Structure 1
């Protein structure tokens, strides 16, 4: 089973069938558990993620119907083993290697960074694979301290992967690919000064001074905007 949290929540069976996870509380429960996979989460913490606008007097009792239903929808092995465990007012979802896209994403970025100095071609494949897993804002249905912190961490890691992909392409003398990627990234986030500066650098090295100068002016405007 594959759990996708790098965008809207998706759960996919091994045979490719999508698991039907109802919107609302069930989706929030599962997302909050996937935020901390293989870790015990208290009923109080889980209830806060599911119902952020109120305090539940009996969180375990209110959560149980959703947890029970999710156990049926996300089996571990066949239809008999529960993936979600409960013990003493705490819950834990068991996630195996390769089953959670955010974990796979982080591992690909790590592998790419290790390989970059000696094998930029393989590193580029790692960074591309990591970027390809990204479908939107992670854990977007939650609004808790943990979800915001993890979303920020993963977002920063994505930009790191894309920056390193530029490094790998440049190491392979794929200047055109580097320019195209950087132009796409400046379009995605025009206020990110670092991307503009890299685009100026790559265009200069490619012997494209007119475009480099234009990008430099845009970078300066971004810097002035950030300084306000």
Structure 2
């Protein structure tokens, strides 16, 4: 038996045949139980989730028992006992490991983090992504915390996969993932940084520069801020023409350190001026360009 909540509610038998659990309130009841899989949910909580903003009828508890009865008939019981258990004032659905898609996605994500093989990790993450069919729990309002968890997991999986692609030279695939992420949330600088670097390392310099300018425009328009250090550093790498590898990374770190040092000195000088302290002149230092002192 498999329960799909990473999209519209879906239930399937082990062989893949769809299990019809109805629509409307019976389906809402099943979703509510799956949000709290293997945990007891009170009758009052279930009624609140099923009826949401609607007026709760006097027959709500009796109706709830009817919906439970329908689900019990539709859902085959696991070997360990009834699928839906009950007490006087609560219900619980039993879900075995691997039966709930969001749990399976979390397991695959964690397994990918444990393996030291990038190709194997990418395979696990790709398998996890295939579980998504749409908005988790159908976007049901009362399931907002569970929806938020699933959406955050979805983002983390794609971020990890994009990084794996970038680390193994699959820059076009990394760019596809990063572009989807910035489309979903244009204010996430980490996604823009991934996109800029993936395009650049894939030999698409003009697109990388265009992506940075798009990111900068969005950040200025929506938040009133310039790109942060990571995105700005990615932009500098594109301008310098750095390629993946040790030397460009060293150059980027050197430049970042020098820029930071200059800003620190400027800040110290301004502070000294305010408090009336004279700063001694600093000796001139040779500046090397391309390894040759200027």
Q: Secondary structure at the match of 2:29?
A: helix
Partner of 1:132: 130
Q: Secondary structure at the match of 2:136?
A: coil
Give the number of equivalent residue pairs. 222
Distance 1:98 1:25 in 2: 26
Could you tell me whether the CA contact under 8 Å between 1:49 and 1:143 is conserved in 2? no
Partner of 1:215: 211
1:85-164 correspondence to structure 2 within 5 Å: 85-115=85-115, 118-140=116-138, 142-144=140-142, 147-164=143-160
Greater Cα offset, 188-197 or 124-133: 188-197
Q: Secondary structure at the match of 1:225?
A: helix
Normalising by structure 1, report the TM-score: 0.89
Distance 2:121 2:34 in 1: 28
What is the CA RMSD across the aligned residues, in angstroms? 2.0
Partner of 1:82: 82
Partner of 1:45: 45
Q: CA deviation at 1:96?
A: 0.6
Could you tell me whether the CA contact under 8 Å between 2:186 and 2:215 is conserved in 1? no
Q: CA deviation at 1:187?
A: 4.2
Q: CA deviation at 1:82?
A: 2.8
Q: Secondary structure at the match of 1:140?
A: helix
Q: Secondary structure at the match of 1:98?
A: coil
Q: Structure 1 195/179 Cα, relative in aligned 2: closer, same or farther at 3 Å?
A: same
Could you tell me whether the CA contact under 8 Å between 1:2 and 1:100 is conserved in 2? yes
Distance 2:144 2:212 in 1: 33
Q: CA deviation at 1:184?
A: 3.8
Partner of 1:61: 62
Q: Which runs of 5+ in 1 are unaligned?
A: none
Partner of 2:174: 178
Distance 1:141 1:198 in 2: 28
Partner of 2:276: none
Q: Which runs of 5+ in 2 are unaligned?
A: 225-294
Q: CA deviation at 1:166?
A: 0.8
Could you tell me whether the CA contact under 8 Å between 1:47 and 1:56 is conserved in 2? no
Q: Structure 1 41/59 Cα, relative in aligned 2: closer, same or farther at 3 Å?
A: farther
Partner of 2:29: 29
Partner of 1:13: 13
Could you tell me whether the CA contact under 8 Å between 1:43 and 1:59 is conserved in 2? no
Could you tell me whether the CA contact under 8 Å between 1:6 and 1:138 is conserved in 2? yes
Normalising by structure 2, report the TM-score: 0.70
Partner of 2:191: 195
